[in-house]
Amino acid sequence: MRIGVPKEIKDHEYRVGLTPESVAELAAAGHTVVVETHAGAGIGAADGDYVSAGATVADTADEIFSAADMIVKVKEPQSAERQMLRPDQVLFTYLHLAPDPDQTKDLVKSGATCIAYETVTDGQGGLPLLKPMSQVAGRMSIQAGATALEKAQGGRGVLLGGVPGVRPGRVVVIGGGTVGFNAAQMAVGMHADVTILDRNPAVLERLENHFEANARTIYSGKAVVEELLATADLVIGAVLVPGAAAPKVVTRQMLKLMPQGSVLLDVAIDQGGCFETSRPTTHTDPTYVVDGIVHYCVANMPGAVARTSTYALNNVTLPHVMAIAEKGWQLALAENPHLLDGLNVWNGHVTCKPVAEALGYEHLHAEVAVREAGTQEVVKATPTAA
């Protein structure tokens, strides 16, 4: 198979879809890999490293998209990239479609087969391709939040760890999954005052057993959230509903409860954000202020630590890239129901139910898509709601 790796073009996105080591594995298996020039610069991988691994280097993204049977990326394709997709092409990357109607419309129109990292599952009900980036984002959220709390950054001037004789900063983590757990680990390590909220008793028990007296765990509800916001210095939004738009757990009205200069950091922004006042920001301009509350909503936080993030991501994506390259997407998905869960768009149809429900598309079951692929013409879907 011909595999294309374009350079990421999202603001301050330094990750790359494949490392030279991953390229070497694919090349050894007989596949052709074409990498856009300077695509690996952000992780310290020169064009020569890719050539040594067995890849060919192309000068432009257009060459990559024109030549490849499968495009392997990190972030969702930007508008210009979406226009280059073909009906006979596989796109394998993070998509986060539920809060992004424009991207969904373009992918549907392209006719391409689009497989999303974030909805691929495993036998334990986890999201293995999302997990490493959630680990990175969770850990980064505390250092980013600590910086945003600095007075020069618009924050209230609180040091999360405090000093002898002065109380530490109060951190509230909403959501006890991978992001929340990793955020709490970092906050506890900085000796902050940490409270973790979740609605799953089993998750709360696991967190309680892990952190013991170093962090509080509380069953989440509106009244509890409001109570904790009143004294919070840093609030981490770490709520995830796989494939769907994130629920809004902090409303604009609730901001009035918070101390001026406190920080809301929304790690769920890729899925639309879990604060009502959240909107995507970039590493270039990461924060904004609403009603005196600093908001940090960078949609590609792990891109700032590109080398760590890229290698962590390739550890979990490469086996699937290899399977698709070896077997073709249809057989690879038919044989692996967990990879099948990653199919979001095929032949002009939305095949991920939460995305279809969020954006008003008719849902075509992924199993049906795999069965019908290449066997018959299917009338393309259109949104059933504006």
Is the per-residue pLDDT at 195 higher than 90?
Answer: yes
This prediction has a pTM of 0.91
**Structural domain boundaries, residue 153:** 132-304
The answer on 11 and 56 residing in a single domain is yes
Average pLDDT of the segment spanning 185-210: 98
Give the confidence band of 383 by pLDDT, cuts at 50, 70, 90: low
CA distance 375 to 10: 36
Report if residue 361 sits inside a domain. yes
The answer on 311 and 297 residing in a single domain is no
The answer on 270 and 177 residing in a single domain is yes
Q: Give the per-residue pLDDT at 374.
A: 57
CB 310, CB 35: distance < 8 Å: no
Give the confidence band of 375 by pLDDT, cuts at 50, 70, 90: low
CA distance 278 to 103: 19
Residue after which a domain boundary falls, among 275, 304, 333: 304
Is the per-residue pLDDT at 360 higher than 80?
Answer: yes
Residue after which a domain boundary falls, among 277, 304, 331: 304
The residue among 125 and 211 whose pLDDT is bigger is 211
Report if residue 384 sits inside a domain. no
CA distance 77 to 119: 16
Q: Give the per-residue pLDDT at 241.
A: 86
The answer on 282 and 152 residing in a single domain is yes
The answer on 297 and 157 residing in a single domain is yes
Q: pLDDT digits over 269-328, tens only?
A: 999 999 999 999 999 999 999 999 999 999 999 999 999 999 999 999 999 999 999 999
The answer on 257 and 344 residing in a single domain is no
The answer on 286 and 146 residing in a single domain is yes
Report if residue 385 sits inside a domain. no
Task: List, by residue number, the catalytic residues.
Answer: 96, 270
- For the stretch 176-191, what's the b/e string if a residue is b when 16 or more beta carbons lie within 10 angstroms of its beta carbon? bbbbbbbbbbbbbebe
The answer on 66 and 152 residing in a single domain is no
Residue 312's contacts (CB-CB under 8 Å, 6 or more residues apart) are: 132, 133, 135, 136
